[in-house]
Chain A
């Protein structure tokens, strides 16, 4: 199922367009309040936007210009939220059978589908339990089985693993990847909202970065994360990003920073971003002499220990250094340092 969405919700400052190819999974990332949930609500039909047009497989489901509106229950758009929201008064099988039953399957047929879905997700032994007796991970699996049971053409996943114990997340992620692959082969489409770079890399084909209700970057997931054009995507991928204007050596930032890059660079004068790995940033107390390298004076703003290494945040870019270096150089917020980066470690992309 291909999706074409054009959405305007002025009171939430959302104005964007999204296209999803049939059989692919679109990831939506962005800061809280950027409008990701609004997009899902508009797709599911739980929000009636003032201006919107939604096509699924060339069929117009919503068009506010003509007054066309398709209510949620006939859209064939499933939703898996952060919380499992299993119906507490129904046992697990009845929960999973709810969708097929609502779409007209007989009692026996619906229960057969429910047990099949539960078996696929390794939940056969939970079939007769009440939702209240399930662990968080079990409830999440049952909720996934329930969302899959009506075989929705489009499946919306709203941070399905955010509320779970870290211990059960990897397994569920694997399950989700298998499920999405199976659905992909059947031409089914999915939209996943996430804050996790692993989710993005393992589960999505396309990634859209949403900020302030606008799509600021969209493309193949790998490209969006490796050559980020937005600060948010860079953060997500653990990379540094500097915005500015392309120049002969690389990039000029509005703050007056000159960034030297090697390799292909966009033509001078166009808006561009420089991307560099924090591990490629060295921290010195004195500016080293000579060599065609980037040397930027900076002030440390935070030091975040990560095992044997630490991320040193500054007012320019972040550096990934050993904890020994942090101790030797007495790195702490307010400390003035010089950041040194080889030009070959910097990539500049035009926007």
Chain B
């Protein structure tokens, strides 16, 4: 982060080692490094600060307490379920957006991306308006004895709502990059549209689909606002890891820090996984 560590060495010794050709440093004014370093610090320092607060000796006990285990297990289950739901719904959405043209498509795309910019708590209220006891669909569901709000199903719905755009965007980008020439060839070889989708299109964009699914999983795992609004905070039923962290912060800060560390580790793993794939392809 310090400017001294920057690769701007003014005297490049004429060594025997082959060097990669670089653009000269003259392209960028030096002052840019200062705000850039501040920005990086804003992200890195809090994570380091979190690490300094971790009570390493009690960590195993804190992570394996009953409420922690319940929250972790619920989070993993619901995030996995909403990832599956995202794939089932998001893959067709990405294909429709990338491979077809119809009136109102731009509007639909804008709506699909809405949860990305919408505050999650607003999403939660919107879901309540839909699936709550007096909601648009909730009142009808209530009649047949199905109650969605404040259940584990609600957690999955809330997470899917916020995570879906990540998968759709990632996959739509892959589909556009891949183009449709392979699909054309497959069709002239006699493959029906379903066969083309299954044997050509999907395998070609598999890396994009995996990245999108991993991102969606991570987003679902961290979901807080929509969940607490739409599903509440019932231990073992709707209280996921972020909710547990928020509650523990009041009563047992050490436990909150320990669980936070867990989510940081998961987040780092996700980034490594996604970036690793991007780097290879």
> Are the chains A and B members of one assembly?
yes
A interface residues, Cβ below 8 angstroms from B: 44-46, 71-79, 81, 83, 85, 87-90, 98-99, 102-103, 146-147, 149-150, 152, 156
The interface of chain B, by Cβ under 8 A from chain A, is: 181-182, 184-193, 195-196, 199-200, 203-204, 206
CA distance A88 to B188 in the complex (A): 17
Known: A89-B203, A98-B199. Is A73-B187 also a contact (CB below 8 A)?
yes
The prevalent SS among residues of A at the interface is loop
Contacts A44-B184, A147-B189, A149-B189 known; list 10 others, CB within 8 Å: A72-B184, A73-B187, A73-B191, A74-B190, A79-B185, A79-B188, A99-B190, A147-B188, A150-B189, A152-B188
Does the CB pair B188–A102 fall under 8 Å? no
> Given A44, A83, A90, which contacts B188 in the complex, CB threshold below 8 Å?
A44
| CB <8 Å contact, B185 and A73 | no
- Please indicate which of the listed interface residues A72, A103, A150, A152 has the most CB atoms of chain B within 10 Å of its own CB: A72
State the CA gap A78–B185 with chains docked (Å): 8
Smallest Cβ-Cβ distance to B191: which chain A residue: A102
A78 partner residues in chain B, CB cutoff 8 A: 188-189
Name the B residues within 8 Å of A89 (CB-CB): 203-204, 206
A85 with B188, Cβ < 8 A, contacts A98-B199, A102-B195 known: no
List A contacts of B185 (CB < 8 A): 79, 81, 85
A33 to B: closest C-beta gap in Å: 19
Alpha-carbon separation in the docked complex, A317 to B191 (Å)? 51
Q: Give A73 to B190 CA distance when docked, in angstroms.
A: 4
CA distance A78 to B188 in the complex (A): 5
Closest-CB distance, B235 to chain A (whole angstroms)? 45
- CB-defined contacts of B204 to chain A, threshold 8 Å: 87-89
Q: A87-B182, A88-B204, A98-B199 are in contact. Are A46 and B187 (CB under 8 A)?
A: yes
A72–B199 Cα distance when bound, in Å, is: 17
**Of residues B186, B188, B196, which shows the largest number of chain A Cβ atoms within 10 Å of its Cβ?**
B188
Interchain residue pairs A-B with the least CB separation, the first 6: A99-B189, A102-B191, A79-B188, A72-B187, A89-B203, A103-B190
A44 CA to B190 CA, complexed, in Å: 11
Contact B182 A98 (CB under 8 A): no
Residues of B with C-beta under 8 A to A98: 186, 189, 191, 199
Given the complex of chains A and B, what is the CA–CA distance between A74 and B196 in angstroms? Answer: 13
CB within 8 A of A102: which of B190, B203, B206?
A: B190
Contact yes or no, A85 B181, CB < 8 A:
yes
In the bound assembly, the distance between CA atoms of A79 and B181 in angstroms comes to 11
A–B complex contacts, Cβ < 8 Å, 29 sampled: A44-B188, A45-B187, A46-B184, A46-B188, A72-B187, A73-B187, A73-B189, A73-B193, A73-B196, A78-B188, A78-B189, A79-B188, A81-B185, A83-B181, A85-B181, A87-B186, A87-B203, A89-B206, A90-B203, A98-B189, A99-B189, A102-B186, A102-B189, A102-B190, A102-B199, A103-B190, A146-B189, A147-B188, A149-B189
Separation in Å of the B278 CB from the closest CB of chain A? 17
Q: Is A85 within 8 A of B182, CB to CB? A: yes
Determine how close the nearest CB of chain B comes to the CB of A117; give it in whole angstroms: 12
B224 to chain A, nearest CB (A): 38
Q: How far is the CB of A65 from chain B (nearest CB, A)?
A: 24
- Can you name the residue of chain B whose Cβ is closest to the Cβ of A104? B190
A150 nearest CB neighbor, chain B only: B190
Chain A residue at minimal CB-CB distance from B185: A85
Distance, CA A90 to CA B202, complexed state (A): 13
- In the complex, residue of chain A having the shortest beta-carbon distance to the beta carbon of B181: A85
Q: Contact at A87–B191, with CB atoms within 8 Å?
A: no
With CB as the reference atom, state the residue of chain A lying closest to B192: A73
Query: In the assembled complex, which residues on chain B have CB atoms less than 8 Å from the CB atom of A99?
Result: 189-191
In angstroms, Cα B191 to Cα A81, docked, is: 17
- When distances are taken between beta carbons in the complex, the residues of chain B under 8 Å from A77 are 188
Q: Which residues of A contact B195 (CB under 8 A)?
A: 102
CB distance from A272 to the nearest CB of B (A): 42
Kindly report which residue of chain B lies nearest to residue A155, judged by CB atoms: B188
B residues less than 8 Å from A147 (CB atoms): 188-189
CB contact between A87 and one of B184, B187, B193, B200 (< 8 Å): that residue: B200
Measured between beta carbons, the chain B residues less than 8 angstroms from A73 are: 187-193, 196
Residues of the B chain whose Cβ atoms lie less than 8 Å from the Cβ of A150: 189-190
Contacts of B186 in A (CB 8 A): 87, 98, 102
B196 contacts across to A, CB distance below 8 A: 73
Q: Which residues of A contact B200 (CB under 8 A)?
A: 87
Contacts of A88 in B (CB 8 A): 204
Distance in Å from the Cβ of A148 to the closest Cβ of chain B?
10
- Select one of A85, A90, A102 contacting B192, CB under 8 A: A102
Given known A-B contacts A85-B181, A87-B182, A72 and B188 have beta carbons under 8 A apart: yes
Name the distance in Å between A141's Cβ and chain B's nearest Cβ.
16
- List, in ascending order, chain A residues with CB within 8 A of B189's CB: 73, 78, 98-99, 102, 146-147, 149-150
Contacts of B187 in A (CB 8 A): 45-46, 71-73
Cα–Cα distance between A90 and B200 once the two chains are bound (Å):
9
Q: Taking CB as reference atom, which chain A residue is nearest B195?
A: A102
Residues of chain A lying within 8 A (CB to CB) of residue B191: 73, 98-99, 102
Rounded to whole angstroms, the CA-CA distance of A103 and B184 in the bound complex is 16
Chain A residue, CB-CB nearest to B204 = A89
Query: Contacts of A76 on B, CB cut-off 8 Å?
Result: 190
Shortest A123–chain B CB gap in Å is 17
A196 to chain B, nearest CB (A): 23
A172 to chain B: closest CB distance in Å? 19
